[in-house]
A and B are shown apart, each in its own frame.
Chain A
Amino acid sequence: MNEAKLPLSDGQYFILQLAVFGATSYFLYPYLILHTDGGSYWMPMVTGLIAGIVGARLFSGMMAQHPGLDAFAVVKRVLGWPGLLLFALPYSWYAWRAMTMIARAHAEIVSMTILHTTPLWLLHCTIPIATLLAAGGVASIGRAAAVFVMVGIPLTVGITLLGLSNLDFTLHEPWRATDISYLGSKTFYTSSFVWVGFLYLSSCGDHSRSPGTLWKPYAAAALCFLPVLAGAIYLPVLTFGVGFAKALTFPFLSKLDSISHYWLVIENLTAVFLSVVILLVILTLSLMLHSLAAALRALLPFLPLRFAYAAVGAGTYVSALLIPSWGWIEKGIWTDTPVRIYLVLFPSAVWLWSRLAGRRRQRA
Chain B
Amino acid sequence: MSGHRKRTLWHALQPVPGAELLAGLRSSFDGLADFEAVCLGESACGELYLCYLSTLVGSEHLLFSLDRSGEEADASLIERYVGTKFAEGDLPACVEALCRGSTVLCTSASASGIVLETADWKQRNVGQPLTENVIQGPMYAFNESYRTNVALLRQRMRTPKLKLWETTIGRETAVRAGVFYMQDLADPGLVNRVKERFARIDADGIQDTGQLLRLLGGKSLLFPLAVTTERPDRVAAALLGGKIAIMLDGTPLAIVAPGAFADFWEAAEDRNLMPFIALFLRALRFMALITNLFLPGFYVAITSVNIDVNRLEISLAAAGSREGVPYPVLVEALLILFLLDCIVEAGVRLPRTIGATVTMVGGVVLGQAIIQANIVSNLLVIVAATTALTNFIVVDYQMGLVLRVLKYFVLLGAGVLGILGIVLCFAILVVFLSRLESFGVSYLSPAGPRARVYTNERLSWFKGLKQPKERNG
Q: Which residue of A lies closest to B441 (CB)?
A: A1
Inter-chain CA distance A114–B445, complex, in Å, is: 35
Contact call B437/A114, Cβ cutoff below 8 A: no
A275 contact set on B, CB distance < 8 A: 419-420, 422-423
Contact with B along A245-266 (1 / 0, CB 8 A): 0000000000000000000111
B192 to chain A, nearest CB (A): 14
Q: Which of A1-32 contact B (CB under 8 A)?
A: 1, 3, 6-9, 12
A265 to chain B, nearest CB (A): 6
Partner of A129, one of B428, B433, B448: B428
Partner of A114, one of B420, B435, B444, B449: B420
Contact call A142/B449, Cβ cutoff below 8 A: yes
Inter-chain CA distance A75–B311, complex, in Å, is: 56
A6 contact set on B, CB distance < 8 A: 442, 449-451
B424 contact set on A, CB distance < 8 A: 125-126, 129, 278
B326 to chain A, nearest CB (A): 23
Inter-chain CA distance A115–B413, complex, in Å, is: 14
Inter-chain CA distance A279–B450, complex, in Å, is: 22
B449 contact set on A, CB distance < 8 A: 3, 6-9, 12, 138-139, 142-143, 207
Question: In this complex, which of A12, A132, A267 has the most chain B Cβ atoms within 10 angstroms of its Cβ?
Answer: A267
Contact call A144/B310, Cβ cutoff below 8 A: no
Contact call B306/A132, Cβ cutoff below 8 A: no
Contact call B311/A265, Cβ cutoff below 8 A: yes
Partner of A1, one of B416, B419, B437, B447: B437
B265 to chain A, nearest CB (A): 14
Contact call B444/A110, Cβ cutoff below 8 A: no
Asked if B19 lies at the interface with its beta carbon under 8 angstroms from chain A, I say no
A115 contact set on B, CB distance < 8 A: 305, 417-418, 420
Interface size on B, residues (CB 8 A): 36
Asked if A146 lies at the interface with its beta carbon under 8 angstroms from chain B, I say yes
Size bracket, chain A contacts: 35 or more
A142 contact set on B, CB distance < 8 A: 448-449
Knowing A140-B434, A267-B308 touch, does A147 contact B447 (C-beta < 8 A)? yes
Partner of B427, one of A114, A264, A279: A279
A3 contact set on B, CB distance < 8 A: 449
Asked if B431 lies at the interface with its beta carbon under 8 angstroms from chain A, I say yes
Contact call A266/B420, Cβ cutoff below 8 A: no
Inter-chain CA distance A268–B416, complex, in Å, is: 19
Partner of B435, one of A9, A12, A140: A140
A44 to chain B, nearest CB (A): 32
Inter-chain CA distance A27–B433, complex, in Å, is: 29
Asked if A225 lies at the interface with its beta carbon under 8 angstroms from chain B, I say no
Inter-chain CA distance A115–B417, complex, in Å, is: 8
Contact call A278/B434, Cβ cutoff below 8 A: no
Partner of A136, one of B309, B420, B422, B434: B434
Contact call B448/A148, Cβ cutoff below 8 A: no
Contact call A144/B418, Cβ cutoff below 8 A: no
A114 contact set on B, CB distance < 8 A: 306, 418-420
A12 to chain B, nearest CB (A): 6
A287 contact set on B, CB distance < 8 A: none
Contact call A267/B312, Cβ cutoff below 8 A: yes
A132 to chain B, nearest CB (A): 5
Knowing A139-B449, A267-B311, A271-B306 touch, does A276 contact B423 (C-beta < 8 A)? yes
Asked if B275 lies at the interface with its beta carbon under 8 angstroms from chain A, I say no
Knowing A129-B424, A142-B449, A276-B423 touch, does A118 contact B417 (C-beta < 8 A)? yes
Inter-chain CA distance A129–B434, complex, in Å, is: 12
Inter-chain CA distance A143–B433, complex, in Å, is: 9
Asked if A282 lies at the interface with its beta carbon under 8 angstroms from chain B, I say yes
Asked if A122 lies at the interface with its beta carbon under 8 angstroms from chain B, I say yes
Knowing A115-B418, A139-B448, A265-B311 touch, does A1 contact B430 (C-beta < 8 A)? no
B426 contact set on A, CB distance < 8 A: 151, 279
Inter-chain CA distance A196–B340, complex, in Å, is: 51
B420 contact set on A, CB distance < 8 A: 110, 114-115, 271, 274-275, 278
Asked if A133 lies at the interface with its beta carbon under 8 angstroms from chain B, I say yes
B432 contact set on A, CB distance < 8 A: 132
Complex A-B: 9 CB contacts under 8 Å: A1-B440, A6-B449, A12-B448, A115-B305, A133-B431, A264-B311, A268-B308, A278-B423, A282-B431
List 10 other contacts, CB 8 Å, given A8-B448, A139-B449, A282-B427: A1-B451, A12-B448, A114-B419, A129-B431, A133-B435, A140-B448, A146-B444, A267-B309, A271-B418, A278-B420
Q: Which residues of B contact A (CB under 8 A)?
A: 305-306, 308-312, 314, 416-420, 422-424, 426-428, 430-435, 437, 440-442, 444-445, 447-451
